[in-house]
A and B are shown apart, each in its own frame.
Chain A
Amino acid sequence: GAVVSQHPSWVICKSGTSVKIECRSLDFQATTMFWYRQFPKQSLMLMATSNEGSKATYEQGVEKDKFLINHASLTLSTLTVTSAHPEDSSFYICSALLAGKGYEQYFGPGTRLTVT
């Protein structure tokens, strides 16, 4: 139980284009999902908190117009990187909060984004 999937697992795009990453909770409902960014050999940095049916809450320094988050259902959140640049290349990981079991977060497998 508590499986989270991400799609795609890796993507290569050209500068200036937009990329959408999907995060799904497969066997549970998640009112809250989180998006993290991880650079090589570094820790996970929280980008934003996504609540179903409401606007995402972004961490300080994260551009909300560049990283668009939509949490339209209890099992799906999407992150769209708009007008991507090479510095946006990173490992993006989502997690879902397992409601009713304290505050356990279950992570997806991550999406490797490379912007050329």
Chain B
Amino acid sequence: GENVEQHPSTLSVQEGDSAVIKCTYSDSASNYFPWYKQELGKGPQLIIDIRSNVGEKKDQRIAVTLNKTAKHFSLHITETQPEDSAVYFCAASFVGDMRFGAGTRLTVKP
């Protein structure tokens, strides 16, 4: 089955700096790669996703890159703000069967 590894487990940055979170996956059949933001006591919120036929996608301060050959994808957050502080999960999916990374706790210091 699919195995998703996520690094780092914790990340602390200064407000305004960039943050990068990386994930690798094992199943070459996976074709959908979403990123979720989860705040304490809440359900995950989809923030950006990318499909296997695309190498990069950007939405304002958030971007995701995908390298299918190497089976890794990354989340990039620029100009971080304190409200970006949360746990971020990557996931890899094939036909709706989604597996999650272990999560990254991002702290943005004002």
Q: Which residues of B contact A107 (CB under 8 A)?
A: 36, 43-46
Query: What 0/1 readout, one digit per residue, does chain B (80-110) give for beta carbons within 8 Å of chain A?
Result: 0000000001000101111111110000000
Chain A-chain B contacts (Cβ-Cβ < 8 Å), number: 51
Min distance, Cβ A112 to any Cβ of chain B, angstroms? 7
Query: What 0/1 readout, one digit per residue, does chain A (71-105) give for beta carbons within 8 Å of chain B?
Result: 00000000000000000000001000100001111
Interface residues of A (CB under 8 A from B): 4, 6, 32, 34, 42-44, 46, 49, 93, 97, 102-110, 112
A93 pairs with B32, CB closer than 8 A: no
B41 pairs with A112, CB closer than 8 A: yes
B46 pairs with A103, CB closer than 8 A: no
Q: Which residues of A contact B61 (CB under 8 A)?
A: none
Secondary structure call for the A interface = strand
A97 pairs with B96, CB closer than 8 A: yes
Q: Given the known A-B contacts A44-B89, A97-B96, are A110 and B42 also in contact in the complex, defined by CB atoms under 8 Å?
A: yes
B103 pairs with A102, CB closer than 8 A: no
Task: Report, nearest first, the 3 A-B pairs whose CB atoms are least far apart.
Answer: A107-B43, A109-B43, A110-B43
